[in-house]
A = this chain, B = another copy of it.
Amino acid sequence: MKYPQALEDLIECFTNLPSVGKKTAERYALYVLMHMDDASITDFSNALISIKKDIHICNNCGNISEGDTCSICKDEKRNKRQILVVENVKDLFTIEKINEYQGIYHVLNGAISFSKGIGIDDLNINSLIEKVKNNMVDEIILATNATLEGETTARYIKELLQEYSVKITRIAHGLPVGGDLSYADEMTVLKAFEGRREY
């Protein structure tokens, strides 16, 4: 026995979301059907349509933006010669939250992944290289994740930029503040050990 077509369609839509399988999608769709009122569903439907209409991708850094250029790139107090490279917009917002960084960003929109078939052409890398080539950058801070994909991407960008006179740094990986050494995974302990500094 199958669900009515409209329900099957909505389940199908929910399965497109990251880490949402058939069971979870069923749960979401049935919840919408049985527990959400018409007004909330209309709001939800409109919010989906608005997202692409109202939000653009910054033509300079790849951040999300209400205009063509994002508020960070437009901010005159920001140092345009310091560029912090992140895998995605969420990472950018995480760094913005510490209220410390005063440069601008570059969003790759992913990381090189052989298993997922994501190569360099799928990422927003070229415009970064162009900026370095045109001598518009003093420092590139690589803040891709400390995963196989993030490390591969960081290394690849470093190699591409080696011939230019730009300072390349990588954010520190180590034990999280408040973290207990005995609970840390081996890779984190290794990174913490390798990255030790004079005390």
A40 to B53, CA, bound (A): 14
- Residues of B contacting A33 with CB < 8 Å? 51-52, 55, 64
Question: A34 contacts which of B38, B44, B46, B109 (Cβ < 8 Å)?
Answer: B109
> Nearest CB to that of A65 among chain B residues?
B4
Integer count of this chain's copies in the complex: 2
Binds B, one of A11-19, A125-133, A155-163, A189-197: A11-19
Asked if residues B50 and A9 are in contact (CB atoms below 8 Å), the reply is yes
Shortest Cβ distance from A23 into B: residue? B90
Does A48 lie at the interface of the complex (its beta carbon under 8 Å from any beta carbon of B)?
yes
B90–A26 CB distance below 8 A = yes
Q: Range of interface residues on chain A?
A: 35 or more
Q: Are A51 and B55 in contact (CB under 8 A)?
A: no
Minimum Cβ distance to chain B for residue A70 (Å): 9
Is B52's CB under 8 angstroms from A5's CB? no
Task: Assess the A51–B18 pair: CB atoms within 8 A.
Answer: no
Judge if A141 is at the interface, Cβ distance under 8 Å: no
| A 62-100 to B, binary, CB cutoff 8 A, 1 in contact else 0 | 001110000000000000000000001110010011000
Q: A177: CB under 8 A from chain B?
A: no
Contacting pair B41 A48 (CB below 8 A) = yes
Judged by a CB distance under 8 angstroms, whether A31 is at the interface is yes
B interface footprint on A1-42 (CB within 8 Å = 1, 0 otherwise): 101111101101100111010000011111111101010111
Given known contacts A54-B4, A55-B4, A41 and B49 CB-to-CB distance under 8 angstroms: yes
A10 CA to B45 CA in the complex, in Å?
9
| CB-defined A-B contacts under 8 Å, sample of 10 | A4-B54, A4-B65, A6-B54, A7-B55, A9-B43, A17-B32, A33-B52, A33-B64, A34-B88, A45-B49
Interface residues of A (CB under 8 A from B): 1, 3-7, 9-10, 12-13, 16-18, 20, 26-34, 36, 38, 40-55, 64-66, 88-90, 93, 96-97, 109
